[in-house]
Amino acid sequence: MPASPMVRLRKICLALPETHEVEAWGEPTFRVRNRMFATYANPNSHHGGGRPAAWCKAVEGDQALMVRSAPHRFFIPPYVGKSGWVGIWLDGKVDWKGLAVLIESGYRLIAPKRLIARLP
């Protein structure tokens, strides 16, 4: 039986140097120091809108490009979307390797340089 989307997302996020999980707004969030780079949107909460999703910090301009090119896969999440974050649906066929790249990219935007230097 495959792991749940939350379990898989947690594994990706916590594999990054010095990250930790904090529950905020009723959802698991992933942080380095006190800065958030990803969160899980539970399908049973108003954050998920009935579908499991991950939200992650994105490079400026990437959000619009991703949502325009694959609206079945990406969306603008509430609250943090105005800051450039991107939402990724975690139901259906998920590109987990691609998601890991997006999560790492968000991590690189906020992590200290000494931690980024530890990444491959």
Task: Kindly give the interhelix angle for 96-110 and 5-14, rounded to the nearest 10 degrees.
Answer: 40
pTM score over 0.95: no
Kindly list the domain boundaries of the chain, sorted by start residue: 5-112
pLDDT single digits (tens) 78-116? 889 999 999 999 998 999 999 999 999 999 999 999 999
* Whole-angstrom distance, CA of residue 18 vs CA of residue 32: 6
Q: Among 106, 107, 92, 80, which residue's Cα sits nearest to residue 43?
A: 92
CATH topology of domain 5-112: Aspartate Aminotransferase, domain 1 (3.90.1150)
Residue 77 has pLDDT above 60, yes or no: yes
Average pLDDT, whole number, for the chain?
91
- pLDDT class for 120, splitting at 50, 70, 90? confident
The CA-based diameter of the chain, rounded to the nearest angstrom, is 39
